[in-house]
Amino acid sequence: MTRRHMETIFICLAFAASAAAQVTCAVRAVHVNARQSPSATGKVVANVNQGDLLQVVDDVHYWYQVVLKDGTRAYISKATCSVVPESDPGEEDISSAQDFYNPPAAVPAITLASCTPKTIPADWSICPATGSGGIHAKAYVEKNRVTISCSYEPMTLDTILQLDHLPSNVRALPATDKRVTYLHAIEGESVVVEGYLAMVKDGGKEGVNCDSDTRLDIHMELVDTDAVDPKTNRRTHVVTEVTPWFEQSIPAWTKSALARYSSYANGYSGAMHRPPARVRIYGYMFFDDAHAKDGSVGTWRGTEWEVHPITKIEVSDNGDWKNIE
């Protein structure tokens, strides 16, 4: 029996037990969009936060209809919460506990036409794949991937924001730990995500680049709307990054060139200088464990999960997608 079947049975039994019985959904993601309809494209009507307890009033495929704090009803993804009986909200139901650390269902990959997988040049004598080493060496290897795939799984910003949060020491856990299995399943994916380019800046000195003053990642933040100033919704931003190896291989991938498409450059000081361009970012999923406990998630970023490194960038140009290269 699948997890979703178990969830459905649990909800149905809970409602059938008593007309007065209620089922509570405990939100476990830092940021969750509550939508007007049970669809990833449904209008966002509110945001709910990690730890919120919401009454579930209906069970729809992949979605729960819940009562928000103001009394209105909306839909949230089942992947973002765990259901518990309201009579004992402090103790999570065993069946819902199994919902943690299960990768999202795979969707058909997109294969790029006239594409040949390749590896870009990297001189590891300048800085090894493990960067400056230390406790983050395993993560640096993932950041320093230099292969370009021709097959990408579409992923929405919402899906990335709803991925489970992992501990900062996840890469040191035993290989049999379910959290490690979850990490490897998602980091092994090459994905493509669409969004609006909120801001471009350099990533500063980092151990992954051997603390160089000149070889810096290019930090690019994506949001899911161009209807608001992206400075005001930073807790929903998804970080994507160009590594020095890709910047030196693709002439158009400089910080100044990419910033022509973003609302802000080098931070969010001052006024927004242009609406954000709609972009497609291709690359590898990556869990940045350095941000798992630094307080950044829920303040200036929506999740520790990133697209890093970026392997291909497209920008929408009057309805057509233009490759930046």
Residue 93, domain CATH:
2.30.30.40
Q: How far apart are CA 58 and CA 82, in angstroms?
A: 14
Give a yes or no: residue 105 inside a domain: no
pLDDT at site 29: 74
Give a yes or no: residue 246 inside a domain: yes
Q: How far apart are CA 246 and CA 224, in angstroms?
A: 25
Residue 30's alpha-carbon distances to 56, 161, 195, 303, in angstroms, are 19, 8, 20, 8
Q: For residues 172 and 105, which has the higher predicted lDDT (pLDDT)? A: 172
Does position 86 have pLDDT exceeding 60, yes or no? no
Q: Give the domain extent around 114.
A: 110-323
Give a yes or no: residue 92 inside a domain: yes
Shared-domain flag, residues 193 and 149:
yes
Q: How far apart are CA 66 and CA 89, in angstroms?
A: 15
- Percentage of the chain modeled with pLDDT above 70: 88
Last residue of a domain, one of 47, 69, 97: 97
Shared-domain flag, residues 78 and 114:
no
Count of the separate structural domains present in the chain: 2
| Overall average pLDDT of the 290-296 stretch | 88
Shared-domain flag, residues 175 and 36:
no
Give a yes or no: residue 102 inside a domain: no
| Overall average pLDDT of the 227-250 stretch | 95
| Overall average pLDDT of the 111-119 stretch | 95
pLDDT at site 150: 97
Shared-domain flag, residues 90 and 69:
yes
> What is the reported pTM?
0.76
pLDDT at site 89: 40
**Given pLDDT bands bounded at 50, 70 and 90, which one contains residue 213?**
very high
Best CA proximity match to 41, nearest among 153, 197, 157: 157
Give a yes or no: residue 286 inside a domain: yes
pLDDT at site 33: 85
**Given pLDDT bands bounded at 50, 70 and 90, which one contains residue 95?**
very low
Q: Give Dmax (Cα) for the chain.
A: 69
> Which residues make beta-bridge pairs with 28?
none
Does position 92 have pLDDT exceeding 80, yes or no? no
pLDDT at site 222: 98
**Given pLDDT bands bounded at 50, 70 and 90, which one contains residue 78?**
confident
Shared-domain flag, residues 230 and 285:
yes
pLDDT at site 99: 57
pLDDT at site 85: 53
Mean predicted lDDT score pLDDT of the chain: 87
Task: Examine residue 309 and say whether the peptide bond preceding it is cis (omega within 30 degrees of 0).
Answer: yes
> ∠16-60-82 over CA atoms, to 5°?
75
Q: How far apart are CA 106 and CA 246, in angstroms?
A: 27
Does position 10 have pLDDT exceeding 60, yes or no? no
Last residue of a domain, one of 73, 97, 121: 97
Q: For residues 65 and 7, which has the higher predicted lDDT (pLDDT)? A: 65
Does position 55 have pLDDT exceeding 50, yes or no? yes
Shared-domain flag, residues 114 and 148:
yes
**Given pLDDT bands bounded at 50, 70 and 90, which one contains residue 252?**
very high
Return the DSSP state at 103: P
Last residue of a domain, one of 42, 69, 97: 97
Q: For residues 307 and 24, which has the higher predicted lDDT (pLDDT)? A: 307
| Overall average pLDDT of the 227-234 stretch | 93
